[in-house]
Chain A
């Protein structure tokens, strides 16, 4: 049997200091943001920052979860809901229409993601309300830098992913089938209630790949909006157009991992395709969804000047210069343990190239203390948001504009 999320209060647990890395234990990070900072807020921020940097080992889980003593049988029926995006074929086969892979799945089989199963010609998601990781994170950890800075996001994931990135930091949940990882039953209204209970203005669908739990994401977003809670998604964007419009249409902001700017990298390292992701970014732009882009720079694989330049030019032409782009540092993980951590000068080179192309908001990520974590006014170049770790420590933007030169700064600054 799966366990139910316990909503009792607890103390925070540190994250590991890396980007959206996660472990399948339910944890909490809590911070607060006010500007100017009062003493209480400062202490809260400091604690959250320390937690994010992994220095507070005294903490306990917010959402109590008994220790997992090995594989347990879960009651599949409570997580099994008919999928929304598929087409029925002859001989009880189906064609999945969720992602561009378009798996044709025979009876009793699953698609590439491993979380959708054909049962007698009807396709089911097995991960509705089946939460294998839940944390309270600063929104900066997603990273979303132009979306409610200094606030918290109730962040959750289910098992599964529709690609297989060789560098995945969360591969233990993203590359697993749902029955292989412990999970809690967290129906949409419970998620909204938990978010509200813990002062999170946002629910974040993250860690693994939300594309594969689109039905749950949509229901949770609806429940959240009814309770006044926003929703954001951290996704690879490898999704079919209709599914993207339907599911991510319910989001208040989107972060897309654009993993490289070559099809060969997508084929060999991601096991996916670049073009559908670029198409998704254009669609999100047309939908006026607040979107930020992360580009994980992997040494020798996607770190050439030509790729950085091509990426920046494409963004400028197709999305505009105001889309934030985060060049983040790679850490050896999963099937790419033979490569080193991305040198900081490589990230700085990427930023310089993107800056030179005219992009306004280019950040460097996973490098604590780097000045390129801050937001600067593209016109007067004064610092507008200062960040320490995953915490926004100073926030000077007023009414969506630079307080010094009144240049508008795009983003979602108020709930």
Chain B
């Protein structure tokens, strides 16, 4: 007969498992929305919010209207009545939140400045300190060319490129990828919000959420062969990225359907929409379909017909990666 305090092997294992579960749960606030997917058969929600009058009578996106559009998208995604509530589910005070924008397309086709300002406003209302928000991409000059004001000090939102902080010295690897990561990601940010642009890409087919992570590494040029497949999926598997990623807010206010990733006005259109999801694979699949519809409307071949179907999206969803789903039956696209 066992004495009090004695532990059988079975009890010990049970306690270990329980402890591990508690530790896992306590690692994040209960209310935090995690990027990982829920039950196997749950659908991934992708919200597309559109405002035909986003630019009013002009060409520039209206700050108030895009804030309203962002609120509509976020409240729909998180089923909230209050515009601040989604953000409180996403981040908590004291965290440093990185907004990984895409500034490669200059002023014509980069993450929209007014959108980024709207995100920063809501984050601050969710009690994230302004200097705990870092708007960043690869290069400070590219950020400035895209209209951002580089800012590295004071009690205000930070904005700068990896050129200001450098990359980690040692490469990290997953599968086919071995890269040095931006110190902005590894040393500054606890949480990451991905703010890509909906774009055509001459190699990968499309560049949306998953491919925007190429801006996190020092050697993206090494990972463009074979339509970036499986490199994009492998890169997004890196724990430094995966554990920080909370949400993707895709800027589809201006998008491109051909000639990407650079800005070519003749192949761009004012789409006046945002696409929001916590499943980057589902979001990329949805964005791909939007681009295909536009290509069809313009009389262009499908991306597959053009020899550049974005196969990396399926790779990201496969059994080796499980970064999300590309199965349309498991994606709930909500248009608001």
Contacts and interface: CB of A to CB of B under 8 A. Distances in A.
Interface string B202-235: 1000000000000000110110110000000000
A71 B224 contact: no
Given A71-B164, A176-B218, A177-B219, A106 B261 contact: yes
B288 interface: no
A359 to B, nearest CB: 35
Given A71-B163, A166-B178, A107 B219 contact: no
B171 A114 contact: no
Interface in B25-60: none
A271 B226 CA distance: 12
B158 to A, nearest CB: 17
Interface residues of B, number: 21
A164 interface: yes
A335 B225 CA distance: 19
B81 interface: no
Nearest to B167: A180
Contact of A177 (B173, B218, B225): B218
Contact of A334 (B171, B202, B260, B264): B171
Nearest to B202: A106
B304 interface: no
Nearest to A104: B202
Contact of B219 (A91, A166, A176): A176
Given A106-B202, A106-B262, A107-B262, A177 B178 contact: no
A175 B222 contact: yes
B171 A335 contact: yes
A114 to B, nearest CB: 4
B61 interface: no
B222 A108 contact: no
B259 interface: yes
Interface string B260-286: 111010000000000000000000000
B166 A334 contact: no
A233 to B, nearest CB: 23
Nearest to A271: B222
A114 B221 contact: yes
A112 B225 contact: yes
B309 to A, nearest CB: 17
Between B104, B164, B171, B219, the greatest number of chain A beta carbons within 10 A of the residue's beta carbon is seen for B219
Nearest to B258: A91
Interface in A146-180: 164, 166, 171, 175-177, 179-180
A110 interface: yes
A70 interface: yes
Nearest to A166: B178
Nearest to A107: B262
Interface in A65-102: 70-71, 73, 91, 93, 101
Contacts of A110: 221
Contacts of A73: 163
Contacts of B219: 114, 164, 175-177
B259 A91 contact: yes
Contacts of B222: 112, 114, 164, 175, 271
Contact of B262 (A109, A176, A334): A109
Contacts of B225: 101, 112
B224 to A, nearest CB: 7
B188 to A, nearest CB: 15
Contacts of B167: 180
Interface string B147-189: 0000000000000000111110001010000100000000000
15 contacts: A71-B163, A71-B165, A73-B163, A91-B259, A106-B259, A106-B260, A108-B262, A112-B221, A112-B222, A112-B224, A114-B221, A164-B219, A175-B219, A176-B218, A176-B219
Interface of B: 104, 163-167, 171, 173, 178, 202, 218-219, 221-222, 224-225, 259-262, 264
Interface of A: 70-71, 73, 91, 93, 101, 103-104, 106-114, 164, 166, 171, 175-177, 179-180, 271, 334-335
Given A70-B166, A177-B221, 20 more contacts: A71-B163, A71-B164, A71-B165, A101-B225, A103-B224, A104-B202, A107-B262, A108-B262, A109-B262, A111-B221, A112-B225, A164-B219, A164-B222, A175-B218, A175-B219, A176-B218, A176-B219, A177-B218, A334-B171, A335-B178
